[in-house]
Homo-oligomer: A and B are copies of this chain.
Amino acid sequence: MDAVIQAIAEPRRRDILGLVVEKELSASEIASHFDVTRPAVSQHLSVLLSAGLVTLRREGTHRYYRARPEGLAELRDYLNRFWKDQLSLLKELAEAEEQTKKEKMDAGR
């Protein structure tokens, strides 16, 4: 999971992900969209691949990459859980605090 977060932390990899969502593309095709060399894209793709965010399909000398929805979903679920815990906890704390304030006010009467 840490690998997934690390992978999407890099802006260029998010851009690449955005490209291969629409259609599967080869490394060269992806590279042509950016101002970087092909090897740089290859390296990003291997990061995305090992993070489970893209899939690879070989066809002759070509290698087509495509976004893997399950990978994105896993990350989304992880973060949603993270946030749910934190946000609900914050909410409870805020309410408890509010209650304490009221009690103090009552006591001061």
Chain A interface size band reads 20 to 34
Question: Which residues in B have their C-beta under 8 angstroms from that of A21?
Answer: 85-86, 89-90
Chain A facing B: main interface SS: helix
Give 8 nearest A-B pairs by CB, closest first.
Answer: A9-B9, A21-B86, A69-B90, A76-B83, A69-B87, A72-B83, A21-B89, A5-B9
19 cross-chain CB contacts under 8 A: A2-B11, A5-B8, A5-B9, A6-B9, A9-B9, A21-B85, A21-B86, A21-B90, A22-B89, A23-B93, A67-B86, A67-B90, A69-B87, A69-B90, A73-B83, A73-B87, A76-B79, A76-B80, A76-B83
